Amino acid sequence: MAFPLQLYMAMRHQQLSIYSQFLGILGLIAWLLQASVSDAQHADSGVRVWVEEALTRVQPTTPAGSKKVVEIAAARNEVESFQVIVSSSGPKLEGVTAFVSDLSDATGHRISNSGIKLYRQEYVYLRNPSPYSTEPPGWWPDPLVPFLNPYDAKPISAMRLNREEQNGKVSYQLSGARFAGNGFNVWPERNQPLWGEVAIPANQPPGLYQGTFSVQLAASSTVEIPVKLTVWDFALPDGLPLTTQFGSLDGVSAKHGVPDGSPQSLELQERYALALEEHRIAAPIPSALLPITRPNGSIDTKKNHEALKQYLTQHHTGPFRIPVFPSDGKGKKAFERYLREFFVYLKENGWERGAYYFPVSEPNTKEAYDRVRSVAQLVHEAEPSIRFLCTEQPYTQDSSWGDLHGAVDVWCPLFTFFDGDRAARARERGEIMWTYTALCQKAPPYHPNFATVGGQPGMFWQIDFPLLNYRLPLWLNWRNKVQGLLYWSAVHWGDPERDVWTDPGFRNRYNGEGYLLYPGSEAGIFGPVPSLRLKALRDGLEDYAYFSLLAGLGDGDFVEQETAKVAHSWWKWEDDAERIYAVRSAIAKRIQEKQRKPGGVQ
């Protein structure tokens, strides 16, 4: 009689299974109905919440999109971003807040929401469009105001007017931050974009992680956006994907009201340096930590040595930029002594690799060319291992000036001044190629291919140009075997001295030129506030790390094949963000295939 009993139990199990499935379907239908009712209720109230990818700038009146799910993918030890936008066609929304849950996979692995940063995008008004920009004056998103103070993880209070009474006298005082993150208002027919970024731990198991991004509209009204993150089965290496030099941090202390050289100033500069380093950019070395230079060319290394050593140990700074000697063109003996002693000091501490000297920027006259040649000769005579860097292209501006071959070790042309043939010849001579950008400069008449590239647009780094202008130069650097990226400053808030939160125009018309970080003093932060442009640049640097990783696995040809689909040249590229993500995904897939051992075991 065992067989009938087994049959009965099997039938009973099947009935229970069908019943469970039925209940599951009912639950799913109920959830969908509830979501539909919720969406309808929010639609009725005029509230719109939608999702955009990280390369899209959302203007105050950009029409609402249709995407309702955050879907991103990233490697381990990478940061990936997304946007959620809140708007209202009805009444003003006050005190809106947002938060995100932990992300988890089907087996219980989690990414804590403590590793997910949220920001409110602030708009800046561009009164004068940048040269070659096709955009009219208007409001542009750029500063990213964090929901929490990054140094104490506490909310930042918005500015308010306080009434104080003392000895019968009434006074009013302002307190709080001029620009705050969470707890914001959304005005009718205006968008408020939010920025989220997930830092994937280096040891995170691969797979699909899911969670929820919640927008709290009122005490009892919440809009929930599903978040889906695919973690790919490889990790990006720590550190800098390529050499970067983004100027000094001089001047940040004044914006925060602390004296230069003070302990507070050093703490502040380190916070700014760390912000750049977190975006894969070399941490600038504070001037106060460098050896002291004497007029005779000797250097005092004892006073600052321990502090400098600690800084270089804790930060990724890249090749050492030897400070410019004040009289390099006047006192030959002092200058050569300075270079020799400085290089000996670097070598004694293991810091000499790639050390360079950069005294002349953009030599645009015969006299400037002569100075480059004379100073470079002194540098090479004093210490041949010191590289001489010049922001110039490896072809001459005027044949009557001669060229700079043999003088320059590291060429650094503007993006639009780059010439692939001349760069290849420079590499054959053992020289190194970097690139840089400044202002809005097109290819010059003396460019070897001016007939083809003259007048063409470039990837200019101003606020009123697409964010992909900050990402795709790294793709072209890879394709052209460029080893470094230079930008003259990430924190220049002058020319004229101004409040860049409300007046972003460098020299009145280059919007955002010379800075990628905002002074955090206006946001209640003793440190920097990042920009959308800095985030796009970080994504480009992480892309470069992908390319290097796959090339190191022996498939550089695939990288070239894929990147060429988007980044054709310094004057021609695709502006479809989806194509950029498709190439990145293809390269990620290829990395995983290459790293997979026989039998599918990683």
Please say which residue of 209, 235, 261 terminates a domain.
235
Answer whether residue 29 is part of any domain. no
Q: Is residue 588 part of a domain?
A: yes
Tell me: do 340 and 456 sit in the same domain.
Answer: no
Please give the pLDDT value at position 137.
Answer: 95
pLDDT at 256: 93
How many residues are given for the chain? Answer: 602
Tell me which of 366, 394, 410 is where a domain ends: 410
Question: What whole-number percentage of the chain has pLDDT above 90?
Answer: 81
Same structural domain, 522 and 374: no
| Residue 403 CB neighbour total at 10 angstroms | 15
Number of domains in the chain: 3
Residue with tokens 């001044």: 417
Q: What is the DSSP letter of 259?
A: -
Q: Considering the domain boundaries, does residue 224 fall inside one?
A: yes
Q: Kindly state whether residues 153 and 282 are assigned to the same domain.
A: no
368 shares a domain with 290: no
Query: Sorting pLDDT into bands at 50, 70 and 90, what band is 11?
Result: very low
Q: Can you list the alpha helix ranges (DSSP code H) found in 86-130?
A: none
Strands 207-218 and 138-146: unpaired
3-state secondary structure (DSSP) of residue 50:
strand
CATH number of the domain bearing residue 89 = 2.60.40.10
Residue 251 and residue 223 share a domain: no
* Domain-located, residue 589: yes
In a domain, 5, yes or no: no
Same domain for 436 and 345, yes or no, is no
What letters, b where the CB count within 10 A reaches 16 and e where it falls short, cover 157-186? ebeeeeeeeeeeeeeeeeeebbbbbbbbeb
Say how far apart CA 330 and CA 532 lie, in whole Å.
44
Q: Are residues 364 and 426 in the same domain?
A: no
Predicted local confidence at residue 10, as pLDDT: 43
Let me know whether 182 and 200 are in one domain. Answer: yes
**Same domain flag for 322 and 290:** no
- The last residue of one of the domains, among 186, 218, 235, is 235
Q: Are the C-beta atoms of residues 453 and 568 closer than 8 Å to each other?
A: no
- Predicted confidence (pLDDT) per residue in 338-354, tens digit: 999 999 999 999 999 99
pLDDT of 451 above 80? yes
Domain that holds residue 351: 318-410
pLDDT at 39 over 70: no
Query: Is pLDDT at 601 greater than 90 in this prediction?
Result: no
Does pLDDT of 394 surpass 80? Answer: yes
433 and 404 share one domain: no
pLDDT at 218 over 80: no
Residue 9 domain flag: no
Same-domain pairing of 423 and 404:
no
- Say if residue 145 is in the same domain as residue 76: yes
pLDDT of res. 175: 67
278 assigned to some structural domain:
yes
Please say if the pLDDT value at position 234 is more than 60: yes
Residue 55 lies in a domain: yes
- As a whole-number percent, the residues of the chain with pLDDT over 70 amount to 91
